[in-house]
Amino acid sequence: MISRIKTAIQDKLYENCITEYQRELRCQTDPYLVWIKENEGADDSSTEESYPSLGVVYMEQCVGNFSLEEIGKEYIVFVSGNGKISVNAFREIMKYFDSHQAVDVVYADEDIWMLPEEGADDMEGLVLSREADDELVHRTYPWTKPMWSPDTLFSFFYFGNIFAVRKNALASIQWLGNEDYRKNIYDFALKATESGKRVGHIEKVLFHAFEQGKNREEIEARLMHKTDYIGVGPSYDFIRKAAMDRRGVQGRMFLDSMTGITYPVYDAPGNPCVSIIIPSKDNSAVLKQCIESIYAHTAYKNFEIIVVDNGSTAQTRIRTENFRESYAFTYIYKPMEFNFSAMCNLGVERAKGEFILLLNDDMEVIEDSWLTRMLGQAALKHVGAVGAKLLYPQSTLIQHVGVTNTISGPGHKLKKMDDTISYYYGRNRFIYDMIGVTGACLLMRKSYYVAMGGLYKELRVAYNDVDLCFRLCMKGLYNVQRNDVVLYHHESLSRGDDMQDKEKLKRLMSEKDVLYRRHRKFYQQDPFIGTLMNSGEPEYRCRWLEGYEFAGMSGYDEGLQEGKPLPNERKMNQAIMVVVEECRKEKYTQKSYYVIKGWAYVPGADNARYKFKILFQNTLGDVWEMPVQRRYRKDVAAILPNEKNVEMTGFCSWIFDGVLPAGTYELWMTAKDSCSRQRLYRKMEKRLVVD
């Protein structure tokens, strides 16, 4: 009888272990679900009634004679009827308004609440992330919105499905009164963010939009390429044109018949001269192609070209001088070590134009309105640098659609992806405010360039354009990516690909260090994309976050506690395999920590049964223990096909500086069988030295 009870208990424990393991495994195959689990705290069950000064208006109700005056509340939250407000939304919105008294409009991030299609299998096999209203639902596809971006809003209504306002600050705004609520909402958003109104962004998911589909992949693929948002298309152009008139800006809207998207083309007052600065050396054929394409495909005629040569051969110099007889340009020949920053600065010193355009010699202009569109954008007072979409030559493959400051450093999202398809809320379609644009084709006011001190000469080759854009951001200016302006970029023809040369790669890493020493605020941070989606990959997908990177930077030492002395080593069952990949001290912003990463498993056993801990033993025999943070390791599972439940073999543990006493520690991995009293040990090959 006792034996049967014991067996039943063990079976139940094993069942619980498998359920927990499978749930954690499924979560870790989707970084967003990991983020939900570790970043969203306990539910706040407060409702609209908990905040008497706050009212909710469904956007779909904003038709005809709707007026803010009808809402007897101090704060108004606009939400879509096709979704669900987050349980924490009201609290977060009120907290934000209380702590940001100058802000009148605020919007928040959102995600998708997946619902099965009629007759579907209720999405069996996908991760269930939360339970609400007695229904199991699925969360996916987060929309992490940028910081306040006026040019992005002029492209489309990127506030999405939730935003809130202070009623008194905006009560005088006249509503459009259209029968289409989408036009009323878009018109209101443009008016509400004019005349110096402050706009804020809550970097938290406060809304879940409903989407039906057969499975997660089908829904995400559909949303990834969607461009049908409020504000997109010619039916909204009368709203944008009215906004131009209110703002005293001259311009018109142009339709791209291929995409159905319209773009503003602003007039540059006074027909200003643009000085095109082209650094070049020993690339006469490429330079010739670049200059010929400018003259062949530029409708805006008030420009000058300045070529800066840092020491071409005599033969190349003669070719360049002869080429000037066909196409007018200024030729500055000054032998010196290659320094893109110094060459551009030299060209700007000779520039006569009010605006300057930095242009690589391996660029090829392919359509006539490129300079008109870029110049008009740069002429807006709030704009810093303006960039263009760059494609690989004679292809639709993307080379550049703006600079994103990823966790791996400044990079090009969507690189080598097909531009015939839209990606992640039109990142290669709409005009976007971004943290930076590439110096391969960068236009800005000369006065701004001079005020910034030009390009930083210590960044000779790389990141000088990013450094300039960072400085413009710090001055409150916006760098704008014009995805309706397209040029070909014959990338790396001039000086080769930095990533394929060890010496160039070393120099690249060194210049990246210089960049972040100058701009510590932007280290691994990009306010125009947000932390969650800021991966180093070209795709827009959730990044993997280690625990020490999570918000608050606290609570991760709580698992460390004093442990029992280790048993006699000869009596230990050391049936654990451990590989330590990292054991070192790191620094996150101003706080240091010790990180231990690798993978471990129990051969021949079901690894779902075991709970792993790391043991730290000093020279006196004192022991501290800490549970490991298990991580999904697809690569390890691939090399251990005959082992059971080894997908979660990865571990990552960290301890902030000052928690463990100084000294040298032996590291042990221990595994406790959750279904029995068995405990296993293994000493790691590496030791941890604590300062």
Q: Does the residue 176 lie in any domain? A: yes
Which range (122-126, 640-644, 682-686) has the least confidence? 122-126
Which range (45-49, 122-126, 294-298, 559-563) has the least confidence? 122-126
One domain, residues 506 and 401: yes
Q: Quick one: DSSP state of residue 607?
A: G
| pLDDT score at 299 | 98
| pLDDT score at 544 | 66
Is pLDDT at 214 greater than 80 in this prediction? Answer: yes
Is pLDDT at 665 greater than 70 in this prediction? Answer: yes
Q: Does the residue 20 lie in any domain? A: no
| pLDDT score at 416 | 93
| pLDDT score at 498 | 52
Domain boundary among 185, 216, 248: 248
Q: CATH number, domain at 674?
A: 2.60.40
Count of domains observed in the chain: 3
Is pLDDT at 39 greater than 80 in this prediction? Answer: no
pLDDT digits (tens, 9 = 90+) for 285-324: 999 999 999 999 999 999 999 999 999 999 999 999 999 9
Contacts of 139 (CB under 8 A, 6+ apart): 32, 33, 36, 111, 112, 113, 114, 129, 130, 208
- In our burial notation (b when 16+ CB lie closer than 10 A, e otherwise), range 292-329 reads ebbeebbebeebbbbbbbbebeeebbeebeebeeeeeb
One domain, residues 502 and 354: yes
| pLDDT score at 29 | 74
| pLDDT score at 590 | 59
**CA proximity to 424, closest of 327, 542, 300:** 542
Q: Does the residue 219 lie in any domain? A: yes
Summary mean pLDDT of the chain:
89
Identify the residue with better confidence: 271 or 523.
Answer: 271
Q: Does the residue 570 lie in any domain? A: yes
Which range (73-82, 138-147, 301-310, 628-637) has the least confidence? 628-637
| pLDDT score at 545 | 61
Identify the residue with better confidence: 497 or 147.
Answer: 147
Strands (E), 150-228: 162-166, 198-213
Identify the residue with better confidence: 378 or 685.
Answer: 378
| pLDDT score at 556 | 46
Most confident of 43-52, 284-293, 575-584: 284-293
Identify the three-state secondary structure at position 209: strand
Domain holding 668, by residue range, is 561-690
For range 561-575, the mean pLDDT: 90
| pLDDT score at 46 | 63
pLDDT digits (tens, 9 = 90+) for 461-492: 999 999 999 999 999 999 999 999 999 999 75
For range 199-217, the mean pLDDT: 93
One domain, residues 278 and 140: no
One domain, residues 110 and 222: yes
Is pLDDT at 334 greater than 50 in this prediction? Answer: yes
Q: Does the residue 345 lie in any domain? A: yes
One domain, residues 85 and 226: yes
Q: Does the residue 548 lie in any domain? A: no
| pLDDT score at 502 | 61
| pLDDT score at 683 | 94
pLDDT digits (tens, 9 = 90+) for 57-70: 999 999 998 988 88
One domain, residues 188 and 279: no
Whole-angstrom CA distances from 436 to 154, 285, 399, 528 are 19, 30, 15, 10
One domain, residues 179 and 43: yes
Contact (Cβ atoms closer than 8 angstroms) between residue 149 and residue 530: no
One domain, residues 469 and 508: yes
Is pLDDT at 399 greater than 50 in this prediction? Answer: yes
| pLDDT score at 330 | 97
What percent of the chain lies above the pLDDT cut of 90? 69
Identify the residue with better confidence: 623 or 494.
Answer: 623
Q: CATH number, domain at 201?
A: 3.90.550
| pLDDT score at 138 | 77
Which range (75-84, 148-157, 327-336, 626-635) has the least confidence? 626-635
Q: Does the residue 253 lie in any domain? A: no
One domain, residues 347 and 418: yes
One domain, residues 149 and 187: yes
One domain, residues 451 and 485: yes
One domain, residues 134 and 214: yes
Task: Report residue 205's pLDDT band, with 50, 70 and 90 as the boundaries.
Answer: very high
Task: Report residue 223's pLDDT band, with 50, 70 and 90 as the boundaries.
Answer: very high
Contact (Cβ atoms closer than 8 angstroms) between residue 637 and residue 21: no
